Structure 1
Amino acid sequence: MKTYRLEFTQKIPVDLDRAWNFFSTPLNLTEITPEDMTFDVTSPDTEQAKMYPGMIITYKVSPLLGIKLNWVTEITHVKDKDYFIDEQRFGPFAFWHHNHHFEAIDGGVLMRDILHYSIGWGPLGLIANNLIVAKKINDIFNFRRKKVEELFGKL
C-alpha cells in the first residue's frame, strides 16, 4: 500500500493564541472547507469544544460526485499552541495522518500541515491518486489558503 506525503505552509498575521483558538475548534473546519464537499461536523459535543487527545470527531463529507460519506477522526496528540494530530478511524482513506503545526514568527504565525495518506486498493489506488485524489487534496488546501487569507489577512 503506497503512502503519500504532502506538506503545506501558510503565514497569517495574527498572534499564536488567535490562530490556535480558531484551528483547534473542530466546527471551524467547515468554514475553511470547500462548500461542494458539503462538510458537516456531526459530533454532538463539538459546539465549543477545544481539541484534546482522544477526542473523536465525526463528519459527513462529499469528496466526489456528491456522495455523502461518514468520516471519523481521532485527535491523537495535542501540544497547546504548538501542534495537534488527527488520524482517520473510519472514512474514505485506508490511512490518514494529519499534523497541524503552529509557530510564532515575526508579524504572525507560520502554520504547517504535514499529511500522510493512503488510498489502498492496490494498483487502482495508485491510478485514483494520480487521476483524482492528489489533485482534490491540493484543491482543498488551496481553497483553505484563500479562505484563511480572507479571514485573517496575508503575511
Structure 2
Amino acid sequence: MIYYFRTEQFLPTDIETAWQFFASAKNLAVITPPELDFKVLTRLDDKEIYEGMLIDYKLRPLWGIPLRWQTEISRVKRGVSFTDRQSKGPYSIWEHTHTFMPQKDGVLMKDEVKYKIPFGFIGSMMHTLIISRKVAGIFSYRRDILKKMFVRK
C-alpha cells in the first residue's frame, strides 16, 4: 500500500531565503528531531542541491537501531520545488516533494511525502502502530523549529 503525508506551513520570509535554507542539505539535521540522531555523511561543501545529487545519512529511527539512508535529488525547479527520492533505505518507496509558493508577506511551503513500507501485512501493521506517527512527529518537530527560525521581524 502507498501512503501519503501532506503538510504546509507559512514562513514569514522571502522566497530566496526560504529556498537557500531548504536547498542546503546541511540544514536537514537542524530541523530533524534530536532523538533520531540524524547525521549527513556526504561531504556537501555548501553546495545547493541539484538533480542527480546523492546524499547519504545515518539515523536511528526506531529503538536506537542505526540505519543508513541515501536520497537522490530527482527534480529541481529553483525557487519553486524539489523532490528527493530514497535510493537506499528502509522504504520500498520514499518521495518527498517540497514546494515553495510566494505569498503576501512570506512563503507557503508545502511538503508531500509518498511512501511505501516493505514486508506486506507486517509493514502495514507497523505503519498503523508506529510509522505513521513517527512521520507526523518528524514534521511536527520541523514545524516548531521553523516557527522559531523564521520569525517575523
| TM-score, length of structure 1 as denominator length | 0.96
1:27/1:47 contact within 8 Å kept? no
Match of 1:68 among 66, 69, 72: 66
Check the 8 A contact 1:56/1:75 in 2, yes or no. yes
Amino acid at match of 2:20: N
Q: By how many angstroms is 1:118 displaced? A: 0.6
Q: Does 1:52 align with 2:50?
A: yes
The match for 1:135 is 133
Q: How many residues align?
A: 152
CA deviations over 1:104-137 (Å, ceiling 9, x no partner):
0001000000110011110001100000000000
Separation in 2 of the partners of 1:81 and 1:94? 29
- What's the RMSD between the two structures over aligned residues? 0.8
How far the C-alpha of 1:57 sits from its partner, in A, is: 0.3
Deviation at 1:47, TM superposition (A): 3.0
The answer to whether the 8 A contact 1:16-1:108 is kept is yes
Structure 1: 5+ residue stretches without partners: none
Does the alignment pair 1:8 with 2:19? no
Letter in 2 for 1:3: I
2:47 aligned with 1:35, yes or no?
Answer: no
> How far apart are the structure 1 equivalents of 2:94 and 2:45?
24
Query: Map of 1:78-89 to 2, 5 A cutoff?
Result: 78-89=76-87
Residue of structure 2 in register with 1:152 after alignment? 150
Whole-Å Cα distance in 2 between the matches of residues 47 and 19 of structure 1? Answer: 19
Question: 1:38: Cα distance to partner?
Answer: 0.5
Q: TM-score w.r.t. structure 2 length?
A: 0.98
The alpha carbon displacement at 1:153 in A equals 2.2
Runs of 4+ in 1 over 4 A off after TM superposition: none
SS of 1:14's equivalent in the other structure is coil
